[in-house]
Every structure is written in structure tokens, then in C-alpha cells.
Chain A
Amino acid sequence: MSDTSSVSRPERGRGIGTLAELRSIVTLPVELGMRLFDPPMRWVQRMIGARRMAYVFLLPNFVFFGLFVFLPIGINIVFSVTGGTALFPSQRPYVGSDQFAYLFDCGSYLDPATCREDHFWRAVANTVKFVVLQVTAMVLLSLVTALVLNMRIRGRGFFRAVYFFPVLLSPVVVALIWKWILQRDGLLNAAITTLGGQKIIFFVDPSWAMFWAVFVSVWAHMGFYTLILLAGLQAIPADLYEAAEMDATPRWRVLTHITLPLLWPNMIVVIVLALIKGAQTFDEVFVLTGGGPGTATLMVVQYIYETGFSSQVQNFGLAAAASVVLGIVLFVLTLLQFAAARRKEI
């Protein structure tokens, strides 16, 4: 008996020892860090008081944001009010609002050809067109998909995953997949010719190019918005539907008088988020169409990129001014989203 226990004890001891060792290895850097930081932090707390310590803990993040977000915004604003081709702000002459005046010098804002910087206004018109089409299609399709995925259908979990899957892909990957499908000798044209049709060269037709830019964008992002709407649908208490059933409510009236009004706060969030995302569209459309044919799918962000970095004369000032304009539009949209989020509670 004693032999057995004397054999088993060291084994158990080794097991515990291994676990403890592993734990100490994992926690060692944390403990070392704590010991390293403890004396200076105590000193700081003594100097400034416990209440102000919150700012000390916020400081690293603030420095990070300052360096990589606020500082570039500031530099961008400096570039937007200075001219020339020099890179360093100190070498750039101050031009005030000249860049903005140049951007906004238009005979008619509805006709880009009358604008001095017609590329910018073509990009604005394309972006507005893209956003209107994309957001409308996105919201409607996301809503229908969410309504269907909220029903008790066979394979519901599978379909929920399938619709969300494109969201996980990089925009460039999405665009390359669809470019492969849509190109002259792509999968879609192969299918069309197999069925006896003629090849369509999608990306030389402005309407087709815009259509596919919208389609691919909707395909890539719909899962995310569907998820938001699905969460909204699932948050509607089931007993409201039972009450509607007891009230002998026809199905279309359940949709229009109960589901949609209760889903409206989520719809607002989806619409505003989709607007913000749509206004910033660049990578997918750029990889898919390159902004063409001509300027048919040139978006504002692509205009900024090309004006600042890829044109022969790298006009940082004009690109920065366009960025400021886009930034203001996005800021207004973000305020709208915050307002919508605050009104979410019924």
C-alpha cells in the first residue's frame, strides 16, 4: 500500500510541477513588467494624485492616435492650404483657400464639363451615383436576406455563414475574383457563349462597368449589413408576433406595421454605415475597373490617390483639399449615424 502511494505521489507531483512551471513561464514577462513599472507608476501617482492617473493610462493610446491619425489629419490640412510640388510643409508656400476655390470653380455643379477640375466633379458624380445605387440595393437585398434567414428554413445556419463569408475576404481578393469571372475570356462570358450568346466586354461599357462595380460591392458587403438587420429582427420579441397572430393580422401587415417599424433603428444604422462606406469606396472598384472606361467609374478616393501620387505632377495640395472635402462629408454622415444610434431606443 505504502509502495503504491510512494510511486503515485511523485508522478502527480511532476504533473503539478509542469503545469506550475508552464504558468510561471507564461506569467513571467507580465510579472517582470509589473515589477519594472510599479516603482515609477507609484512615484507618478504620488506626484499627480490617484484621480489623474486615468490620464496617464490613456497617454500611450493618445500618443498612438496622435501620431497616426491626428497628426496626418493636421498635415493634410496644412497641405490643403499650401501650394507647389515640395513635400515638406516648410517648403510649401501658403495659398489659403486657393485649392478649394480651384476645386469648386464650376459653371454648373451638375455638369462636370463646366468645372475647372472636371475630374474631381466626375468622381463626385460617379461616387454619388455609386452610393445611391449601392446603398439602395444593399439595404433592400440585406433586408430581404435577413427576413428569409430569420425564418425557420432548412439549413439556416449554413446560409447565414454563406452570406457572411464574402465579408471576410480582402476587397482586392473580391475584386480579383470578380475580374476573373467578368473579363473578356472569363467565366461569365464562357457561360454566355456556351448558351449560344455573344461575349460581352463588360468593362468597356460605362453602364456595365458601373453595374458590376455596384454588384461586386453589394456582394462583398451585404453579409455584414444582413447580420445587423438579422440581429435587429431577432431582438423583436416573439410575443409581439403572437399578439399580432391573435389580432388576426395579415402577413403583409405584420411586415409593414410591426417588423419594419421595429427594425427601423437598425435600418437607419445600416443606411448610414453603407453611405459612409460607399463614399470611401476605392480598392474594389479600382482593382475591378481601374476607374474606367474613361472616367466612368472614377471615385473620389481614386481621384485623390491619382492626383496626389500617381499623376505626372503630384499635386499634393489639390489632393489634400479634396480629402478635406470628403472628410467633411464623412464627418456629417458620422454625426448622422451617432444621432441614429441615439434614437435606436424606442
Chain B
Amino acid sequence: MAELKLTSARKSFGSIDVLHGIDLAVRDGEFVVFVGPSGCGKSTLLRLIAGLENVTSGEIHIDGERVTHLPASERGLAMVFQSYALYPHMSVRKNMGFALENMGLKPAEIEARVARAAAMLRLTDYLDRKPKALSGGQRQRVAIGRAIVRDPKIFLFDEPLSNLDAELRVATRKELASLHAGLGGTMIYVTHDQVEAMTLADRIVVLNAGRIEQVGTPLELYNRPANAFVAGFIGSPRMNFLPAVVVSDDGTLRLTVGEVEVALPRPASGLAAGASVTLGIRPEHIEIAPGDGMLAAKIDLLEQLGGETFVYATAPGLPQITLRQDGQSHFHRGDAVAIRFAPDHLHIFDAAGAALARP
């Protein structure tokens, strides 16, 4: 297993800059997830690490060794592809043993390694089948098995669950987590699904437009997002963003939100009166109060999921607000309610979207 270090890694395709200087260190045995919207450069970053793409500039080190210009075949990494990329004409056994044959291992050693990985991934009964005779989940496990048998320095996963149905995705996600716990290998995982990122990662790297927005543990990102992008990307349903104007900032931050004034006790952060800010609040940190509250609102829609309810409400002068309530709600569409934000969970973002330090 190994450490990875990226220094100012930049990638351009012609005149288009895809990655703008990535600096990142991945520790030995760590499970790091790259997450971000489509086109943010996360797969390209993974391919740079794999050696399937060349960096335009910058450095890549694995275990202190410079591998920036080494071909993929010499980096000692294994990759699980989104499409699985199983060799269709080879049996599962042959697929899993192919890289070992390339390494020149003896047939007995290959057989032993394949058998061990197959047992771990519950593939023993399928070793003589071709990929087309396997289900999506089984194919995915073969792809993972193909990586495991090689005992690579780092496992790379490129959206490996995106072709599976929802139920299988959850099951495979759990298997991956236990696999990481069992193998203890360094793993880098690319996904656009923030639930996968939150559940699997030791640390998450949030990418946007070819830049790292924030690196941190899942709960750091959830509780202390560095900016509005991370705040909006992590968490489902996404954080509510409400435009606000600073009235005063002198030990108590006074803001105009919609048609009401809100007072938040917090240390002065130098905001000028009249400055535009954005108030961020997660759906579970908003309460519906039958009587008085911060904002008067009207319920537009309720989504009753049984164990929880999502409420969509509108307050004058504000975009639609999403609330999450535990259990089943007794409110109805069209009800006039008062809503109250939990002050400890409010996030404030300046005009550029950067989060202001929280008390």
C-alpha cells in the first residue's frame, strides 16, 4: 500500500484547461473520494494518477517516487472502470488471472490468488463463466477481483457503481466499505453521488470546474463547508440558500431576510451595513412552528416518505425553502406556518460564496 502526492497537477486538452493545478496528499491506507458535478475533472484526475493521461504540468509521487511520466503499466496501480472493462472472451478466472500472467507468476500462484479473491468476493461458483453470463453486480465484483489479485499499491475506482440499480448499489457500497476495512489498502474513488462519498470516504475531495473546493472528512464538509458550492453539493436535500442584506455587524449580526429582520449573536466579522450575503441552512435545521417564528411561510408541497417528511414552503421575498421533519407530518398543502432556523446551524456566505467563520 502506498501514499500519493500530487503537486500542482495541471491538465489541458488543447486550449481547454480541465485541471488547474491540483495539490493533494493521500495517506497510506486512506479511502479518498473525489466528488463533484459532471465535467468537474474528477475522472481526468483519476486517469492522471493511473497514468492513462499525461499531466500537462506538475508532479505525481507514489511512495515518494516520482511517477509523473511513467506509463500506467509501470505504476503498480489497479483500476476498476465504470464499464467494468472485463475481457468479454475470457472466463472470470482468466480475467482475474490475466494481469498475474503478465507479471510472469507461476500457474499455481495465479490459481491460489484468484481462488482467494474469488472466495472473498463470492465468485468461486462463477470462475468458469464468461462476463456475459454474469449479472451487473457479479461483473462489478469480477472487476474488483481483478484489481485485488494484483495486490496493487493503490486501488483506483472510476464511478464503479453507476451502472448498478439502486438496491445493488447500496449492497455493493457496503461490500466496498468492508473490503477496504479488510484489505486496508489505499483507495481513490470517483463518484458524482454524494451519498457514496459520505458513506465510503475517510476524506472527501470536492472538485468543481477543475479545482479543489475543499478536502475534509465527510462530517467536516457537512458541518463546516468552506463555501456555498460545497455546502450545496454535500447533503441531500441540498442546503437552503436565502439571500440576505446586512443591517449591522457589531457583536450581533442583524440581517434582513425576505421581509423580516433576523438577529444572530456572533462575533463581528467586519461585514459592512448593506452588504449582500447568503444565509445557508440545511433542511433538517429548520423547524415548523405553529405560532410565532422567524418567517411566515406557506406550504407548497409535502413529500411524506413514512419515516421522514420533506416540506416545501414559500416565504415572501425568498426562494422556496425545503424542510425535513422526522416522522409523518400533520401539515397540509396551503397551510400557513411560521418557520424557525436553528441559529447554531446557520451558515453565512459572503458575496463571493466563501463561508464566514462560525462562532
* A residues whose Cβ falls under 8 Å from a Cβ of B: 237, 239-240, 242-243, 245-250, 253, 257-258, 261-262, 346
Contacts and interface: CB of A to CB of B under 8 A. Distances in A.
B294 interface: no
Given A248-B103, A346-B132, A243 B87 contact: yes
B73 A246 contact: yes
Contacts of A258: 87
Contact of A242 (B85, B89, B99): B85
Contacts, number: 58
Contacts of A237: 83, 85
Nearest to A236: B88
Interface in B46-63: 50-52
Contacts of A246: 50, 52, 72-73, 77-79, 99
Contact of B102 (A242, A250, A261, A262): A250
A245 B85 contact: no
B237 interface: no
A265 to B, nearest CB: 10
A258 B89 CA distance: 8
Residue with the greatest number of chain B CB neighbours at <10 A, chosen from A243, A246, A249: A246
Contact of A240 (B78, B85, B150): B85
B88 A242 contact: no
A247 B50 CA distance: 11
| 9 nearest CB pairs, A to B | A247-B99, A248-B73, A243-B85, A239-B85, A261-B89, A245-B72, A246-B79, A346-B88, A248-B102
B99 A248 contact: yes
Contacts of B150: 247
B32 to A, nearest CB: 19
B85 A249 contact: no
Given A257-B98, A346-B88, A346-B89, A245 B83 contact: no
A253 B98 CA distance: 10
Nearest to A253: B102
B73 A245 contact: yes
B81 interface: yes
Contacts of B125: none
User: Which of A237, A243, A245, A250 has most chain B Cβ within 10 Å?
Assistant: A243
Interface in B125-166: 130, 132, 146, 150
30 contacts: A237-B83, A239-B81, A240-B87, A242-B72, A243-B79, A243-B81, A243-B86, A245-B51, A245-B73, A246-B52, A246-B72, A246-B73, A246-B77, A246-B78, A246-B99, A247-B73, A247-B98, A247-B99, A248-B73, A248-B74, A248-B99, A248-B102, A249-B99, A250-B102, A257-B87, A262-B88, A262-B89, A346-B88, A346-B130, A346-B132
